């Protein structure tokens, strides 16, 4: 049952809004950017003195974050719904366990139809203290570059005028950092059983003048690609391994001039 606030009743549940994954990278004053946190999505419901925490799949997390519950109980609001990410558990001194990025309901007001900037202003006015923290907007023209440089999972881009939709929306975009590296092929192994062409590519990367062995790549090939690769590699055959550093290099391999980059 909800709690009557005179004008509206706080609901027992709200569907969380989800971001859409995108390969786009852009800067636009109509959008704001936040760090993408690697945690558990949590909706916090405060009804009178009672605080409950729920996962996006409606699993109770109240007992997992007692310090968060205790902090939210102190807020002077009889009806409150917050959305955020839990990144800790059982209280970590000096660190946030619950990172709040949206407020969906406050006393008798359903804030979901209101634009994001307005909801953020209301969120900013809440007296949150650790282990609860407020997620702040990132500054700079290319926040995703900072995210990838500092090893974050990525960033979330949000339209400043967007209402809170209880579904996956293109008004929120998820820009993930993906680790990648160019490697050079220095050899390959023989195919086994019914496989044709080659078994795995032996790849490495340059460390100064050394070609350091990085490992094997043996998946993601269809029959045509395996045969095409074998033809190309046979034309680059050499007698000795081009790798001069690294461990785990197979004893029995076919070696090639390191000219093919993957």
**Parallel, antiparallel, or unpaired for β 132-134 and 168-176?**
unpaired
Question: pLDDT tens-digit profile of 151-195?
Answer: 888 999 999 999 999 999 999 999 998 766 778 999 999 998 888
- Burial class for 147, CB neighbours closer than 10 Å (0-12, 13-18, 19+): buried
Beta strand 184-188 with 254-256 is: antiparallel
Contact status, residue 89 vs residue 67, Cβ threshold 8 Å: no
Contact 1, 50 (CB under 8 A): no
Top pLDDT among 246 and 71 is at: 71
**Residue that is written with structure tokens 């009889």 in the block:** 78
Among 41-45, 144-148, 180-184, 253-257, which stretch is predicted with the lowest mean pLDDT? 180-184
Residue 86 three-state SS: strand
Inter-residue contact 189 to 202 (CB < 8 Å):
yes
Residues assigned a catalytic role: 36
Per-residue tokens: 48: 């009178």
Instruction: Look up residue 91 and give its two tokens.
Output: 């209280």
What digits encode the pLDDT tens for the residues 89-102? 656 666 789 999 99
């Amino acid at each position: 049952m909800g709690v009557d606030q005179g004008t509206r009743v706080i609901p027992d549940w709200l569907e969380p809004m989800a971001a859409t994954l995108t390969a786009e990278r852009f800067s636009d004053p109509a959008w704001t950017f936040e760090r993408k946190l690697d945690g558990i999505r949590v909706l916090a419901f405060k009804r009178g003195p009672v605080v409950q925490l729920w996962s996006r799949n409606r699993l109770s997390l109240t007992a997992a974050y007692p310090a968060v519950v205790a902090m939210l109980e102190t807020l002077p609001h009889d009806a409150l719904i917050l959305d955020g990410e839990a990144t800790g558990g059982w209280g970590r001194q000096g660190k946030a366990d619950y990172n709040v990025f949206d407020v969906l309901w406050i006393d008798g007001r359903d804030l979901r139809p209101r634009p994001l900037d307005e909801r953020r202003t209301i969120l900013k006015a809440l007296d949150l203290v650790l282990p609860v923290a407020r997620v702040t907007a990132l500054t700079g023209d290319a926040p995703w570059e900072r995210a990838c440089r500092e090893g974050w999972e990525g960033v979330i881009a949000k339209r400043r005028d967007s209402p809170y939709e209880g579904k996956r929306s293109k008004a929120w975009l998820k820009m993930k950092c993906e680790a990648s590296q160019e490697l050079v092929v220095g050899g390959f192994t023989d195919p086994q059983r019914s496989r044709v062409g080659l078994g795995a590519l032996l790849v490495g990367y340059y460390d100064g003048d050394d070609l350091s062995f990085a490992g094997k790549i043996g998946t993601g090939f269809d029959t045509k690609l395996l045969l095409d690769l074998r033809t190309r590699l046979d034309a680059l055959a050499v007698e000795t391994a081009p790798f001069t550093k690294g461990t785990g290099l197979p004893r029995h391999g076919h070696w090639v001039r390191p000219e093919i980059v993957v």
